[in-house]
Every structure is written in C-alpha cells, then in structure tokens.
Structure 1
Amino acid sequence: MKSIHLLKNFNQDSSLSSHEIATLLEEDLQDYSFCNAFDITPENGFEKIRNRLDLWEKSYDLVAQYCQQLGFDSLDIMSLLWEFWLPLAIQLSQEKSQQKSTLIQGILGGQGTGKTTLSHILCLILKQLDHQTLTISIDDFYTTYDERQKLKKIDPRFIWRGPPGTHDVELGIKVLNQLKNPHHSDSILIPRFDKSLWNGQGDRIEPEPINHPDIVLFEGWFLGVCPIEQTRFNDAPLPIKTEEDRQFAKDINEKLKAYLPLWEKLDSLIILYPQHYHFSKQWRKEAEHKMISSGKTGMSDQEVEDFVNYFWKALHPELFITPLAQNPNLVDLVITIDKNHQPQQIQQYLKLNTPH
C-alpha cells in the first residue's frame, strides 16, 4: 500500500507534499464504505487527510508503544491507526462537539473482537484531542459474589457470570445518569470488578472516583442487544437443541427487557462483528493456549467448548447479534472483524428515526 510508505516518510520528515496527500486521499476514496462511514469526499478530503496527519503525529508513538506490548506487527499498527483508529477517534470528537452532555459511546463485541483494546487506543488518541475519556464495561456492573451465589441457589442454570440477570442494572443506570449530567460537579464513583477474586468467580472492588469525563466508552459482549420474539426459539440454531436449552434461552431473553433502560442511555452504538460467530470459540482456545504455555492456569479445548456454548445458549449470536447489526435504527457503525482479529469493512448506518 502506498499509504504505509508515505506514512513511514511522514514519521521521519513530519511533512508530505500536496501530491502525496492527494495519493492518500485517492486510496481513501477507493473504499466506498470507509468514505461513507467517515464522511470523506473529494471536496473535503484534503482537509480530512491533513487533520488525520496532524493527529497521527501527536498519537503515533503512544499508540505504537501500547500495541507493541500486545504483540502487534508494526505494519498492522500503521494500517490500523491510519484506516481505523484515527478516523473513529475524530468522528467521536466531532459527535461530542455537537452535544453538551457527556457522549456515551456503546461498543458491542464478543470474545476476541478487540473491544477492550479498541477502547484503550481510542482513549490514547482522544487525549490528544483534549478529551477526558472514561472506559467502563458491562462487567463493572456485575452483582456481588454473594448475590450471584444466592442467584445460583435459586436458579442453578446461572453457572457462569455474564448472562443477563447477573448485573445490577439499576446501578448502571444511576452511574450513566451521573456521567451524562453536565452539571454534576462532584467526582463520580465508578464501580469496578475484579475477575480474579473467589477463584475466578470475581467480585466488586472499591469504586474508582473520577472527575467528569466528556466521552465514555461503554463496552460489553451484549451491549445494546434487544429481546426477540419467543417464537424465534422454536427453530433455534445449535447448541440450543433440547427443551431445557430452549427454556433457558427464553428465560434469558425475558431478562434482557430489564436492560433496555440502560441501553437508552447510549448516544451511539458500534458493533464489532466477526465474519463468522464461530471465530470467538477459536479465539478463546488460542487465548487459553497462551495462558497455559506461559505457566498460568487455562481451560482445555473441551472446557472452552462448554463455556462458549453456554453463552450461545443464553444469547445466540445468530438470533440476537445478526439482527441487531442489520438494524439501522439501533446501530450507528458495524465493523466486520476477520479471523485474525482485524477490521475488514466499516458500515455506517443512517438513522431512520430518532434512536434510543
């Protein structure tokens, strides 16, 4: 790609000629979905490229250092930063400038889609645009260990934390309301959750006091997911196969209704959408293999199968994520992720009417 060669030169010289900028713009304009997602046209393209180059200069070293610690290839870092992370950060900054209250950006992504990495990188870039950004996860709103133990006694099907029904939704609404209030001058206590406690079952830890951020990145594996018609479970995909499986899926579907007031606090929703939902199972196996090879405790392949199947029985991606990703009234941006965890296509939706 010519862009990578030009960006390497820019890292050395901190300048590009008008002809080189035109070359960068020409590459952008060849990707219709990218230009549509980030509003890049032949008319505004030169200004957009210059703005991106300015932000590249401010953020490249920080992002590259972080990504190298995660094992990213240097060429991948340059490509992702130029084609994905910078345009997305600029777009979030522009969206924030159009509203007085804190921008609550939802990020939906399953295992291995990179939602946590994306959130951290966006924080690094947005800081260069003078934004104070907070990252929170749906995990931070888990109920306490004791509360989940009581739930398991009442309903033994809740063998893992994670499905709808294991979160304190009212706490989530309270915190997001505080974050969205532009007149809230006191520090806000952000709940935090330590997954390592109680032999990996996890528990709440001391909340984190923060000053008022202007952008919040709120991520989770079923963020924004809505209940579906119960009849959809009559011919559900595997691993939902027994009547007990169907009843569990229906019960979890009912519990989703309690989350809708929380989703209404989102200003925007991005979906990190694997080209095939089965990727998440392989990604989890690879992650566990790395844990074991480094001397840590990890799950066997069969344990991963059982673990992932449990969550597919609760909220099957084909039943819940695929329809959501095709709903322009609820989703703003769909980013398709390939088997190597890399974004391949970005689709921007135009709202049919007022969302959330």
Structure 2
Amino acid sequence: MTPTHFPDAAAGYRPQFVRQVLDDALGQGARVYGIAGLQGTGKSTLSAQVAALAESEGRRVAVLSIDDFYLDQDERQQLAREVHPLLATRGPPGTHDVTLACETIDALLAGRQVALPQFDKIDDRRLPRDAWPVVRDCDLVILEGWFLKTPPQDPAALAVPLNALEREQDPDGTWRRYCNDALAHDYGPLWRRIDRMLFLQGPAFDVVPGWRWQQEQTLQAANPGRQAMSRPQVDRFVQFFERTSRQALDTLPGIAERTIRIDAHRDPIP
C-alpha cells in the first residue's frame, strides 16, 4: 500500500480513499458529515481533500472543525477561576461554544450567509470576527473533531487518576468530573446535527503524542515568526485529552456509521 507520507500534509490520504469517503457521505444523503479521530489522525487533511474533490464536481462544501469553536481565553479563564484551573486549557469537553457551533451549522443548512469562526492556536484565542471567512448555500457540511459523539464515562471510572496531570493537578477529580458532565449534557444538540459519521480508528492512544508533535511542527513551519509548543509542552498537552481519547477508542466503533482502522503511518487498513 502506498504510504501517505505524513507529516507532509500536502501528501494527504490516497485519492481512492478520499473518493470512498465522499461517496459514503453523498451516497447516504448526509447534509452534515462527521469525521472523527484522535489528535493527529489527519482529520483536517482528509476533510480538505474531500471538500476539494466535491467542489471539483460542482458541489459547495463548508468544512468546520470542533477546534474553531473553542471558548475564547477570557471565558476559559473564568471557568478556571470558578471551577478548576485546568479549564484554562482549550480542548477537553466543556471548553467549546456548542451553541455557536449549532447556530453555524443551522445557518449553513438554511442557506443563509454565515461567517465561519476561526481559532488561532498559537495565540490561543479566537480570531476577530472580521477575519472569519463568509460562506452561504452549501450542499454539504463536514464537521471534523477528535471526540465527536463520544459518550461520557461511568462516573465510577473517574475515581482513579489516569496520568500525571490528573494525579498532580486534579487529585480530587473536580476537572475530570466537569469534563465528563459536559459530555453527558452539553454536546448532544451538536452531535444530533451529524447525519452520518466516519471514525478514523488509530492503533492506540500511545501514537497520539508523536502525531500531535508532528502537527505542532507543521504549525511552526507555517508560522516561522511565532512560537508554537515545544515537545515537552505537547507531551503535557495531550494528557488533557487522554481520558476522553481512550473513551473514544473504546466506544466510537460502535457509534459511528463507518469505522476505518488506520495504522501508525495513517494508512487505512483493508
């Protein structure tokens, strides 16, 4: 099988696979198609490839990322003060503007003109609204994200810390209970807007730190005058996502309409 040559984002997934994914979306009549997979899986790359193929055939596509709906810094800082300091860090359940995500999708489906939120990961804040791209009248919305439709854990499973971050900074479980409660109560309206979902199932969570570091290197290369995260910072960052990521690996194969296993090189496994 021809390798995808990640982290070279220009290589992406093989054209045959991109074709299959687009056919899966269109063949089922999905208006909102979800692409789920852990950090570094290549969701953004695949989403862009699928959109480009669809547009080459005359279809209008809007690509949304769950990452662009992070709460802004001031909102997360407020959560950090009122609930737990770890909520200052973007990404885990409970740190997204679900209402904005739902409103954006609804506007797209209704054919209204809508500005698509954009989040600057190096500055760790949402871009000003006048920098958001404006679109309307799309035939297909692709929503990509690392924990789409992931259900909450049983509360009993939260008792034992999973990694050093939880042991040292959340010993009483306040942060992980907040994130788990958010999964249980906040994201349902957004998940219900997804008509069909593909899950890119990586081999294990152990590959995520390396994949996420590749992403950060790509981000740094695209922004040479700015400072992205270092490798130690990335290794700490992925600990924020470990619990929900492992839950996604355990549950999403039984939830997604289609699951494709990928190996450590991000090649689909037949």
| TM-score normalised by the chain length of structure 1 | 0.65
CA distance in 1, matches of 2:227, 2:155: 39
The secondary structure found in structure 1 opposite 2:47 is helix
Equivalent-residue separation in structure 2 for 1:132 and 1:169 (angstroms) = 24
Is the CA contact (8 Å cut-off) linking 2:73 and 2:88 kept in structure 1? Answer: no
Q: Give a deviation string over 1:154-205, Cα, whole Å, max 9, x none.
A: 2312131111222111111222222233xx4x32232222333xxx222232
The alignment-based identity, stated in percent, is: 27
Confirm or deny that 1:310 pairs with 2:204. no
What's the offset of the Cα at 1:306?
Answer: 1.2
Query: Are the aligned partners of 1:291 and 1:297 in contact in 2 as well (CA < 8 Å)?
Result: no
Please list the CA deviations of residues 117-152 of structure 1 after superposition, one character each: whole Å capped at 9, or x if unmatched.
Answer: 000100111113321111011122222332223222
Give the distance between the partners of 1:299 and 1:255, measured in 2 at CA: 27
Write out per-residue CA displacement over residues 85-135 of structure 1, whole angstroms, 9 at most, x where no aligned residue: 112212222223xx7xxx101111222100000001001111133211110
Amino acid at match of 2:87: F
Q: 1:81 pairs with 6, 11, 15, which one? A: 15
Unaligned runs of 5+ in 1: 5-66, 346-356
Task: Note if contact 1:144-1:204 (Cα within 8 Å) is conserved in structure 2.
Answer: no
Deviations 1:222-265 (A, max 9, x none): 12112121012245644554662643222210011211111011
Kept in 2, the 8 Å contact 1:107–1:271? The answer is yes
Aligned to 1:160: 89
Going from structure 1 to structure 2, the CA distance change for 1:336 and 1:144 (only over 3 Å counts) comes to same
Greater RCO between the two (CA within 8 Å, min separation 6)?
2
**Counterparts of 1:293-304 in structure 2 under 5 Å?**
297-304=227-234
Is the deviation greater in 255-264 or in 289-298? 289-298
CA RMSD after TM alignment: 2.9
Q: Find the counterpart in structure 2 of residue 216 from structure 1.
A: 141
Residue type of the partner of 1:230? P
Question: Are the equivalent residues in 2 in contact too, given 1:288–1:298 (CA < 8 A)?
Answer: yes
8 Å contact kept, 2:87–2:175: no
Q: What pairs up with 1:51-90 in 2 under 5 angstroms?
A: 70=9, 72=11, 80-82=14-16, 84-90=17-23
Look up the SS of the partner of 1:254 in the other structure.
helix
CA offsets per residue over residues 20-48 of structure 1, 9 Å max, x none? xxxxxxxxxxxxxxxxxxxxxxxxxxxxx
- 1:285 and 1:171 map into 2 onto residues whose CA distance is 29
Aligned partners of 2:150, 2:104: CA distance in 1, in Å? Answer: 20
Say if 2:228 is the partner of 1:228: no
Q: How does 1:314-353 map to 2 (within 5 A)?
A: 315-318=243-246, 320-327=247-254, 330-345=255-270
Q: Unaligned regions of 5+ residues in structure 2, if any?
A: none
Question: In the alignment, what sits opposite 1:92?
Answer: 25
In the alignment, which residue of structure 1 is the partner of 2:37?
Answer: 109
